[in-house]
């Protein structure tokens, strides 16, 4: 299993209405320092929700944000992710997730 695949599989575990961070994702993959690669892995897999839905992959990359509660750069479509987050019940304002810590989903196994 490739690291990227592990990451994708992990992101898929995030329930609707919840979010996570790259750091937690990296930690969940047993690579706590690979937070950067995590983001790259998602981008590599072209995690443009629609495309994933079409492929039945459903990788909610928009649920993955920074550790400081800010939205990442994503694929130049941050605002679109914000809309999706709001549709899932996650309020976002000024590029930040409201009650981010409470909505944070740690992969506590």
61 has catalytic annotation: yes
Given the residues 7, 61, 82, 85, the one annotated as active site:
61
Calculate helix-pair angle for 3-12, 35-44, nearest 10 degrees.
Answer: 80
Q: Residue 51 or residue 91: which is nearer to DNA going by CB?
A: 51
Q: Nearest approach, Cβ of 26 to DNA (angstroms)?
A: 7
Q: Is 72 in the site for DNA (CB under 7 A)?
A: yes
Residues that bind DNA (rule: CB under 7 A) add up to a total of 31
Q: Is 69 in the site for DNA (CB under 7 A)?
A: no
- What's the per-residue H, E or C state across the chain? CCHHHHHHHHHHCCCCCCEEEHHHHHHHCCCCCCHHHHHHHHHHCCCCHHHHHHCCCCCCHHHEECCCCECCCCCCCHHHHHHHHHHCCCCEECCEECCHHHHECCCCC
Chain residues 23-62 in contact with DNA, contact rule CB under 7 A? 23, 31, 33-44, 47-48, 61-62
Residues that bind DNA (CB under 7 A): 2-4, 21-23, 31, 33-44, 47-48, 61-62, 64, 66-68, 72-75
């Amino acid at each position: 299993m490739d690291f990227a695949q592990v990451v994708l599989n992990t992101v898929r575990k995030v329930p609707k209405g919840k979010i996570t961070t790259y750091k937690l994702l990296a930690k969940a993959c047993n690579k706590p320092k690979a937070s950067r690669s995590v983001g790259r892995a998602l981008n590599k897999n072209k995690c443009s929700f629609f495309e994933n839905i079409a492929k039945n992959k459903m990788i909610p990359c928009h649920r993955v944000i920074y550790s400081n509660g800010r939205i990442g750069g994503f694929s130049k479509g941050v605002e679109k992710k914000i809309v999706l987050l709001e549709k899932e019940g996650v309020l976002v304002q000024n590029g930040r997730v409201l009650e981010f810590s409470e909505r944070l989903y740690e992969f506590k196994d």
